[in-house]
Chain A
Amino acid sequence: KAGVTQTPRYLIKTRGQQVTLSCSPISGHRSVSWYQQTPGQGLQFLFEYFSETQRNKGNFPGRFSGRQFSNSRSEMNVSTLELGDSALYLCASSEGQTYSGNTIYFGEGSWLTVV
């Protein structure tokens, strides 16, 4: 079974631009979450989508948004990029139940550099 696939793996954007990152979850998984990883703040939860609906949201500004398609694939968008948005963006998938212990699998991430 293929793992969580993220594209692109690396990208460089200019301050003020917007960016869209894509994620394909493990086959059969209906939940997709996004995390931001930076050296200063560590791993922080952005949002989670389940059956095309945002089910949970972290403490990030409205410039960060996402969506999920009917095939469970997800995209996240960051508008009006700031230098501080430079980070590794990780997508994670799981079967989707909200009971604790629902194993969450991570992709290899998309490295975003804002210049």
Chain B
Amino acid sequence: QQQVKQSPQSLIVQKGGISIINCAYENTAFDYFPWYQQFPGKGPALLIAIRPDVSEKKEGRFTISFNKSAKQFSLHIMDSQPGDSATYFCAASKTGANNLFFGTGTRLTVIP
């Protein structure tokens, strides 16, 4: 059972465009929502994370939007660059457990 659902599976965006990846969860006990970026041959690296007490968090070109009532959160990459081409994973965890539940990943390709 996939506890975090992620879409789309793949995404192609022009350089300078906005990339949007969506995730949804069911378990209301989740209280931490990180996004990881993974390049081929590398392990996932933390990109940005949010807690449900805020609706938005921005770090540089990366923004997380969080909708607690809908149990959804999304990653927006502004001014997408070819160097952003990677696989992005949303994840969720809950207090009391030090493990992450991952979405299935989105393969982002930014075309020059």
Contact with A along B19-37 (1 / 0, CB 8 A): 0000000000001101010
Using Cβ atoms and an 8 Å threshold, which residues of chain A touch B31?
Answer: 100
CA gap between A79 and B103 in the complex, in Å: 28
Q: Check if B16 is an interface residue, CB within 8 A of chain A.
A: no
Which residues of chain B are within 8 angstroms of A101 by Cβ–Cβ distance? 32, 49, 51
1/0 per position for A47-75, CB-CB distance to B under 8 A? 01010000110100000000000000000
Residue numbers in A under 8 Å from B81 (CB-CB): none
Size bracket of the A interface:
20 to 34
Asked if B69 is at the interface of the complex by the 8 Å CB criterion, the answer is no
User: Any chain A CB within 8 A of the CB of B61?
Assistant: no
Interface contact A33-B99, CB-CB below 8 Å: yes
* Known contacts A90-B43, A106-B44, A109-B43, A48 near B104 by CB under 8 Å: no
B94, A43: Cβ atoms closer than 8 Å: no
For the complex of A and B, list the 9 residue pairs with the smallest distance between their C-beta atoms, beginning with the closest.
Answer: A106-B43, A100-B32, A43-B102, A45-B99, A100-B95, A100-B31, A42-B104, A108-B43, A106-B44
Verify B43–A48 contact, CB threshold 8 A: no
B41 adjacent to A108 (CB under 8 Å): yes
A100 touches B43 (CB 8 A): no
